[in-house]
Amino acid sequence: MAQQLIQEFISNHKEPAASIYSKVDAVLSATKTIVEAKIVDSSASSKGWL
């Protein structure tokens, strides 16, 4: 799914590859941060910390 989105993104944006990869990298790192925050949040909640 993600691969398809990235391919569509690349085909829709005829930009230098470095620019595309830096954007993809930013999105992935942001997503990772959000997911980690949610995991920490849910585990803290289940342990009764919050």
At residue 50, does pLDDT exceed 60?
no
Residue written as token pair 């993104």:
9
The string of DSSP codes covering the chain is -HHHHHHHHHHH----HHHHHHHHHHHHHHHHHHHHHHHHHHHHHHTT--
pLDDT at res. 1: 65
pLDDT of residue 35: 86
Q: What percent of the chain has pLDDT over 90?
A: 0
Amino acid 36: pLDDT: 87
Span 13-20, average pLDDT: 70
